[in-house]
Amino acid sequence: MIARLWHGITLSEVAEEYLDLLQKTGVTDYLATPGNRGVQLLHRIEGRLAHYLIISHWDSLQAIEAFAGSDITRSKYYPEDADFLLEYEPTVQHYEIEAYPTAAL
């Protein structure tokens, strides 16, 4: 299994609004893609900035490609992101998952 990690930054005053947008766009698209095993949406506030981390879990690189396109290292953005994000990080990170606990969070 593979984890895909995406990071973004907004101003803290729009943090909740952007969380709602992430749920409607990225999280919904992740979960609708065959081969996706789940998504975690995290955020933290640091003063004036809000950081977001999306960790999605995938069966294979081919499943990620179905979501992200042929260059799976490129970040995927939506038009609405321009209203919130302070920068566009060009790439994401992928990690092989070596342990996957099954206990409820």
The sign one gets for the Cα dihedral 14, 19, 24, 26 is positive
CA angle (85, 91, 95) in 5-degree steps = 120
| CB 100 within 8 Å of CB 93 | no
Q: What is the pLDDT of residues 37-62, one digit of tens each?
A: 999 999 999 999 999 999 999 999 99
Q: What's the mean pLDDT in 50-79? A: 96
* Cβ neighbours of 43 (radius 10 Å): 17
pTM of the model: 0.90
The distance in angstroms from the start CA to the end CA of the chain is 19
Q: What is the pLDDT of residues 11-41, one digit of tens each?
A: 999 999 999 999 999 999 999 999 999 999 9
Run of H or E including 23? none
Distance between CA atoms of residues 86 and 22, nearest Å: 15
Q: Which domains does the chain have, with CATH numbers?
A: 2-96 (3.30.70.100)
The stretches of the chain forming alpha helices (DSSP H) are 15-22, 28-32, 61-68
